[in-house]
A and B are shown apart, each in its own frame.
Chain A
Amino acid sequence: MTSSGPFLRLVAGAGSEIDDAELARRGQLGDRLALEALYDRHVRVVYARAARLLGRTSEAEDATQDAFVEAFRDLARLRDTGRFGSWLLGIVVHQVHRRYRRRRLLARLGLDRGDDDARLEVIAVGMGAEERADLGRVDLVLAKLPADVRIAWMLRYVEGLSLVEVAESTSCSLATVKRRIARAEREFARVFGPFEAEETP
């Protein structure tokens, strides 16, 4: 533990005086308060992303927790501490993958009793019935897709990541990401009709 703790607690609570890079660097040195500040700064985004990707709040909580444990454990390996956020996202996506694999196994055994309480149409609070109906159809399409395809499509269109960011966070090549997203789009086109999504890199 370094001696910078009290100062760090103050500035971390106050806002953005210390950026992720500095906090991660101090975390690498074992400063617990720096890690807490990183946790506070990112936990809501990580949880929200995990919940949307998994469609279940209970699993999202586990995935968030495990992602932070893994991130803090492996923090020393992170060379570019300024990329802490995107690095953490990659870990979250990995945790989401793990949960999909576990879910598939439990489903085969007839033991998957999780409640899909974070499906898109369920979390669409404040939207009209028609929009929720659309999201319900999106959920139905997503449920039929393999996990890697589903995750790639959701990162791209729900989370709004660029193709490069999707590739980085899923540890895949750009070509693989494009192929997965194209596959998902074919399924969506079958339900919603052909469409042209905005093409941003």
Chain B
Amino acid sequence: MKPSWLRSASSRRLPVVPDEASIARMRGAVFRERAGLPRGAFSGPWAPFRLGFVVACLGALLFFGVRLARPTDREAGPLVTEGGVEFERLGRKDRPDEVAFTDGSTLKLAGGGSVVALVSSSREFSVLLEKGHLEVAVTPGGPRRWVIEAKWARIEVVGTRFAVDRNERRVRVEVREGVVIVRGAGLAEGVVRLTRDEAIEVPVTVAEVAAPESESSVDSVGSVDSVGSVDSEVDVPAPESLAVESAEGGEPSASRARPDARLTPDGWFEEADRARARGDWSLAESHLERIVVTHPSHPRAVLAAYTLGVVRLRRARVDAARESFERVLELGPSRSLREDALLRLVEIEAGRGNVAAARERAREYHAWFPAGRHEAAIRRLVSPHGDVAP
């Protein structure tokens, strides 16, 4: 029995297909050659002599100390660390968990994980985050496309700072600066663009869930109780769930459907995601409202309430959106969701000109999050001219 890595290396699984232009180009060269036409400087009977002459010239250049090739190689070749070696892996016990590259980019690993290099060329630098928390800082403007693979998610970077966290159930991406593109089968559209202060959790895709939880009846789901359990829904979402938390106007995104889950809150949630993906905001609102009203103790109720608020904002139903975000706070959300909901409330009150109410929400925010992610945004909202402190 071949090991899996050897099966992966079979040519049947590694097709290389030349494009038609290449085939035509080669055909032209082959039959031109047969017709006796010259092909290039390094072909024909004199080719070894020409090549030898060129090599001799280059050798002379090197001999006289004109080593132009070195710096060019460094720029055009694989990305190397400041120690001058090609990056292979982070996360070995006896090695540092941080690496800095010659272009100023850095990778910093935490949480006992590991990172393995996949591709390092002049055009692409790609690593696999096998597990753990990875802080990435990519120097903008470099020649390489940076890609972080994390099994259920693929993060493409456009010069930025961000963090990726992978565990057995999901991949979380948080953007500190710049823009990243996250791709994953668990995303409704397969891809999402994140900018500064946005985050996303990409769940295990349906195919990856080894033993899906039972969802045979509403009763069984309804039996999930305790407000405490709600906290876990953002930190460790259900396998097929997905939530984009946005500080700057982004919206919760979609999830992958399980066809037989439609009578449960999970099913409604997924239907809502699909409706939002289609732009059917009314139907999405209806599904989400149903979860919040009929299953307030369900683990997804908080996320549903938050998403409902975003949908209502999208539909310009501001008062209804405010109610939804207030409902989020009542349902006992996780810290990150509370932080986002409070920001939304400040935005709504400030947008309506309710300065006192906006300040009240801002004070509430600062009480919970003295150095929160949205502090600057809230300060800007409450005190746009710098003359009214929150």
Contact = CB atoms under 8 A, between A and B. Distances in A.
B124 to A, nearest CB: 8
Contacts of A111: 58, 69
Interface in A61-116: 61, 64-65, 68-69, 72-73, 105, 109-111, 113, 115-116
A197 interface: yes
Nearest to A133: B128
B263 interface: no
A134 B118 contact: no
A127 B17 contact: no
A125 B122 CA distance: 19
Given A52-B11, A120-B9, A110 B26 contact: no
B6 interface: yes
Interface in B1-58: 1-6, 8-18, 22-23, 25-27, 29-31, 33-34, 55, 58
Interface string A36-71: 100100011001110110000100110011001100
B121 A124 contact: no
A14 interface: no
A44 B27 CA distance: 12
B5 A136 contact: no
B77 A118 contact: no
Contact of A68 (B9, B14, B26, B123): B26
Most chain A beta-carbon neighbours within 10 Å: one of B1, B15, B73, B130:
B15
Most chain A beta-carbon neighbours within 10 Å: one of B9, B70, B150, B151:
B9
Nearest to A161: B11
Contact of A109 (B55, B88, B122, B150): B55
Contacts of A195: 2-3, 6
A123 B124 CA distance: 13
B30 A127 contact: no
Contacts of A132: 118, 128, 149
B10 A158 contact: yes
A135 interface: yes
B192 interface: no
B31 A131 contact: no
A61 B17 CA distance: 11
Interface in A123-146: 123-125, 127-138, 140
B15 A123 contact: yes
A138 B5 contact: yes
Given A120-B9, A135-B9, A110 B30 contact: no
Contact of A138 (B9, B18, B150): B9
A39 B22 contact: no
Contacts of B329: none
Given A44-B18, A115-B123, A136-B116, A69 B33 contact: yes
B29 A65 contact: yes
B41 to A, nearest CB: 13
Contacts of B119: 119, 121-122, 136
B59 interface: yes
B67 interface: yes
B117 interface: yes
A51 B16 contact: yes
Nearest to B5: A134
Contacts of A136: 116-119
Contacts of B128: 129-130, 132-133
A140 B88 CA distance: 10
Contacts of A105: 55
Contacts of A109: 55, 58-59, 62, 69
B76 interface: yes
A159 interface: yes
Contacts of B5: 131, 134-135, 137-138, 192
Nearest to A49: B11
Interface string B66-80: 010110110011000
Interface in A168-201: 192, 195-198
Contacts of B33: 69
Contacts of B26: 43, 47, 61, 64-65, 68
A24 B8 CA distance: 35
Contacts of B27: 36, 39, 43
7 interchain residue pairs of minimum CB distance: A134-B5, A129-B149, A48-B16, A51-B16, A110-B69, A195-B3, A131-B8
28 contacts: A35-B31, A35-B34, A36-B31, A43-B18, A43-B26, A43-B27, A44-B18, A44-B23, A47-B16, A52-B16, A61-B22, A65-B29, A68-B26, A110-B69, A113-B76, A117-B121, A127-B8, A129-B128, A130-B128, A130-B151, A132-B118, A132-B149, A134-B4, A158-B11, A159-B11, A192-B3, A195-B6, A198-B2
Given A35-B31, A60-B16, A138-B9, 4 more contacts: A113-B76, A115-B123, A138-B5, A157-B10
